[in-house]
């Protein structure tokens, strides 16, 4: 593999350094005896996958500072595509190849479809009500079945009506503002809120957007802490009373604000139920059939569908714009294909995609080039498993090193370059699964792909994407300046959108003025018939 040019700083020690030293002392005292006993006196028939030698108590924590992807690349070269780490009391299994991920997480999905115990994000923030974070079991299966029923192929076809409307507003907004990040955020949130609650968000200034930002930030911060916070590294600390465990109050306050917001949206949807179909209505009816459920459970299931869509859609669209800015020949080739199929008298439509192989390849390359979830979502297993002569222990955190998979030069020549043609030259190219694996695969995959196609193709049809020039100086955009939390997205950058011709400007204005803006009528179109 080539040396990674990424500039993703991610310090696994950051939170530890800011925690009260009392917790580290407690961890040392409580865990030392357990660690010595476990590793000196208990034997195992099979070894863990190879990996760097851990220290007592802290494990490999001291080696996880700085850029994790550079560390993983170095370790995969030394230990192979399947390796193990120890962070505090937790065992982490890191998968570094598509083949192994497919073997374990797809072919053996029944064994690897649970989630590891997530004390902060799941227990303290979501109170074990978030479908995305639930362990496997009947409750999770019920929730997933409900979500899949609302995102199946027939539903995705109906949902295209909302995507058509919201993407028209994106293209129109760029006529007067080049703040594409805010426009993409509004698009993703309005799409989700229209379907979920019957609330269309026609402006980035809507209060629902700022509050949803807070909810998503809480979730991402909680997930980021899975290999950082003391309570995740040393789960015994979760049994400490609140007066010496301040994180409990901190996350309780964030749970309270989150559930208040989700319940508020649910109540609004209920007030419209007699006249409007919504996801909230569907979820309520489906859960009622399973027995008595609380309002909080309904609110969280609907909210989970929104949280998952907003952050990944926004980040991936920003990545697409950066690629099209930096690789102008790619943008021109895509525009040529769009012009050949669509012409200049109308916007691209969903039915155009099968005739646009280059646009399809471009979307695949966006998902590969700078993946929005570079380490995937953590999996786990209920029981000890064996693979390739190694032991995968029960409860281990199983990470997928997507970043390493997509930048493996043996599979993707010139992996750090944005080259859609690689997908045309090798249609069977299997690098990674950007929407996850097995039973935990994102049920919103096709809705997500549809959003990428309709927004990107319409922007390319309407605009030339140029660097910003200020005071005679071209504003530089760093290709690998990426912000990493739990998800990844380009650091803020500027772009100039130039309307390709006046005829297209007229069509943009006409389409925006003529599109349906009444939410009740929109929902009538997407409701199951």
Known binding residues for heme: 442
Q: Are 268 and 232 in contact (CB under 8 A)?
A: no
CA distance 328 to 427: 23
Q: Which residue has the tokens 């957007």?
A: 209
What single-letter DSSP state applies at residue 457? H
Measuring CA to CA, how many Å separate 496 from each of 116, 155, 174, 268, 420?
44, 35, 9, 38, 23
Measured CA angle at 98 (ends 75, 358), to 5 deg:
120
Q: Exposed (0-12), middle (13-18) or buried (19+): which is 198, by Cβ within 10 Å?
A: buried
CA distance 113 to 132: 11
Q: Are 104 and 112 in contact (CB under 8 A)?
A: yes
**Binding-site annotation: residue ranges:** 442
CA distance 355 to 412: 25
Token digits for 337?
A: 């294909």
Q: Could you tell me where the beta strands, DSSP code E, fall in 376-472?
A: 385-387, 390-392, 397-400, 463-466, 469-470
Q: Kindly tell me the number of DSSP H helices and DSSP E strands found in the chain.
A: 19, 11
């Amino acid at each position: 593999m080539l040396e990674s040019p990424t500039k993703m700083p991610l310090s696994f020690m950051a939170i530890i350094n800011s925690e009260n030293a009392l917790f580290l002392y407690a961890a040392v005292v409580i865990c030392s005896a357990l660690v010595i006993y476990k590793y000196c006196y208990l034997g195992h028939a099979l070894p863990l996958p190879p990996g760097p030698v851990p220290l007592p108590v802290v494990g490999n924590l001291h080696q996880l500072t700085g850029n994790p992807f550079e560390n993983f690349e170095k370790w995969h070269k030394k230990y192979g595509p399947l390796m193990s780490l120890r962070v505090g009391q937790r065992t982490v299994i890191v998968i570094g190849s598509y083949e192994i991920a497919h073997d374990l997480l797809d072919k053996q999905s029944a064994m690897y479809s649970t989630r590891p115990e997530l004390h902060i994000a799941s227990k303290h923030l979501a109170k074990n009500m978030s479908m995305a974070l639930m362990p496997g079991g009947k409750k999770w299966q019920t929730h997933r079945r409900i979500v899949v029923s609302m995102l199946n192929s027939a539903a995705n076809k109906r949902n295209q009506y909302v995507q058509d409307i919201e993407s028209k507003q994106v293209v129109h907004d760029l006529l007067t503002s080049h703040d594409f990040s805010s426009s993409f955020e509004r698009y993703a949130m309005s799409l989700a809120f229209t379907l979920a609650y019957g609330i269309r968000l026609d402006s980035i200034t809507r209060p629902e957007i700022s509050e949803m930002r807070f909810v998503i930030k809480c979730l991402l911060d909680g997930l980021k802490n899975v290999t950082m916070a003391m309570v995740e590294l040393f789960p015994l600390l979760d049994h400490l009373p609140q007066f010496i465990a301040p994180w409990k109050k901190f996350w309780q306050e964030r749970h309270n604000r989150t559930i208040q917001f989700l319940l508020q949206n649910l109540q609004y949807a209920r007030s419209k139920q007699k006249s409007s179909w919504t996801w909230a209505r569907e979820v309520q009816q489906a859960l009622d059939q399973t027995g008595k459920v609380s309002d909080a459970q309904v609110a969280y299931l609907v909210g989970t569908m929104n949280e998952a869509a907003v952050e990944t859609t926004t980040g991936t669209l920003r990545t697409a714009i950066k690629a099209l800015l930096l690789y102008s020949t790619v943008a021109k080739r895509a525009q040529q294909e769009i012009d050949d199929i669509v012409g200049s008298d109308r916007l691209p439509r969903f039915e155009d995609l099968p005739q646009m192989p280059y646009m399809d390849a471009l979307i695949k390359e966006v998902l590969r080039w700078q993946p929005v979830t570079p380490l995937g979502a953590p999996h786990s297993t209920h029981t000890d498993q064996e693979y390739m002569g190694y032991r995968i222990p029960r409860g281990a955190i199983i990470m997928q090193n997507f970043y390493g998979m997509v930048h493996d030069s043996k599979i993707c020549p010139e992996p750090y370059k944005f080259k859609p043609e690689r997908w045309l030259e090798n249609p069977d190219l299997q690098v990674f699964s950007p929407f996850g694996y097995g039973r935990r695969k994102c049920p919103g995959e096709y809705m997500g792909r549809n959003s990428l196609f309709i927004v990107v193709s319409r922007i390319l049809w309407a605009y030339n994407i140029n660097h910003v020039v200020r005071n005679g100086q071209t504003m530089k955009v760093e290709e690998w300046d990426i912000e990493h939390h739990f998800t990844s997205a380009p650091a803020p950058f500027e772009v100039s959108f130039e309307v390709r011709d006046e005829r297209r400007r007229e069509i943009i204005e006409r389409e925006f003025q003529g599109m349906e803006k009444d939410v009740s009528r929109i929902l009538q179109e997407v409701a199951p018939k």
